[in-house]
Amino acid sequence: MSHHRLVKAAMVAGFAFLWLPILLLVIYAFSADRIPFQWGGFSLRWFQALAANERLVESALLSLRVAAGAATLAVLLGGAAGWALARFGPFRGRALFGALIGAPLVLPEVVTGLSLLLLFVALDALTGWPAGRGATTVLLAHATLGAAFVAVVVQARLAESDRSLEEAAMDLGATPFTAFRTVTLPLIAPALAAGWLLAFTLSLDDVVIASFVSGPAGTTLPMALFSMLRLGLTPEVNALGAVVVIAVGGMLALAALLLRPRRG
């Protein structure tokens, strides 16, 4: 019995360690006091102030657009790469391709950010595209990072499934395209959904890479937050945190629902 209690206590302590700071942030978002983390009675004034802060709202909307675009692009590129790595056999340059796809996973973000910045500047000078830096370049950079994660997830999913499945489909009269559509795609769909959410979250979260490759018209929410912090903290930040926590929590619940093991 005491052993059971100990386990329970450890679990509570663990959750407290993880969630208490976030809980505090959400609670103090509803405080009326000017000073963050000082209780001044229940109030929604900081949420109102947040809604009125056009710069923040704009950067939040931009972040969501960039994250959605980057996640979609990452799923397309990373999904194809993961499929190729898992199913195309030992093609020429496979090892190099795998290493390059996975590079953003292990490279420091500063290096990724800087190298992408150099690429965009050089491209701009050579071809005139992308003209300057902003939301587009952030989207492309985040798609690069997200594709690495999607490729890994998709490759793992395919590696654990039988590679004769596609052959069986073709044996039964399916062209390679039909076999992909009716067998491969349903198999990797949960991995693609999980990869999309991963890439979306990564993009929403990133300050470092965005700071490198962004320009005047490309201030994402984390960047805006970061610059606000330098000027001094207001409970507006708490309110914003609360909104983000609730939004992310909702999305995670959705992801869990999508990825739940289906039976019968």
Partner 1 sequence: MKPLLRAEALTKRFGGTLALDALDLEIAEGEFFALLGGSGSGKSTLLRIIAGFETPDSGRLLLDGHDIAATPPWARPVNMMFQSYALFPHMNVADNVAYGLRRAGVARADVTGRVASALAMVGLSGFERRKPHQLSGGQRQRVALARSLVMRPRLLLLDEPLGALDAGLRERTGFELRALQRETGAAFVMVTHDQEEALALADRVALLDGGRIAQVGAPRAIYERPASRFVARFLGAANVLEGRAMEGRFDSAEAGATFAGDIPAHTAAIALRPERIRVAVAAEGANTARGVVEDVAFRGDDSLVLVRLTGGATLRVAHAEEDGAPPMRGADVYLAWDAEAVVALPA
**Of 108, 173, 216, 232, which lies in the binding site for partner 1, with binding defined by CB under 8 A?**
173
Min separation Cβ 258 and partner 1, Å: 14
* Residue 161 interacts with partner 1 (CB under 8 A): yes or no: yes
Distance CA 95, CA 2 (A): 53
Q: What are phi and psi of 31, to 5 degrees?
A: -85, 145
End-to-end Cα distance, the chain: 38
Cβ distance 26 to 46 under 8 Å?
no
Name the one range near partner 1 by CB under 8 A: 29-37, 139-147, 160-168, 197-205: 160-168
* Residue 183 interacts with partner 1 (CB under 8 A): yes or no: yes
* Residue 94 interacts with partner 1 (CB under 8 A): yes or no: no
Residue 211 has, within 13 A of its CA and on its CB side, a CA count of: 13
* Residue 167 interacts with partner 1 (CB under 8 A): yes or no: yes
Tell me whether residue 60 or residue 187 sits nearer to partner 1 (CB atom). Answer: 187
**At 145, which amino acid appears?**
L
* Residue 156 interacts with partner 1 (CB under 8 A): yes or no: no
Tell me whether residue 3 or residue 92 sits nearer to partner 1 (CB atom). Answer: 92
Hey, which residues between 184 and 223 contact partner 1 (CB under 8 A)?
186-187
**Of 55, 175, 247, 253, which lies in the binding site for partner 1, with binding defined by CB under 8 A?**
175
Cβ distance 248 to 201 under 8 Å?
yes
Tell me whether residue 34 or residue 181 sits nearer to partner 1 (CB atom). Answer: 181
Supply 8's token pair: 């329970």
Chain residues binding partner 1 by CB under 8 A are: 161-162, 164-165, 167-175, 178, 182-183, 186-187, 263-264
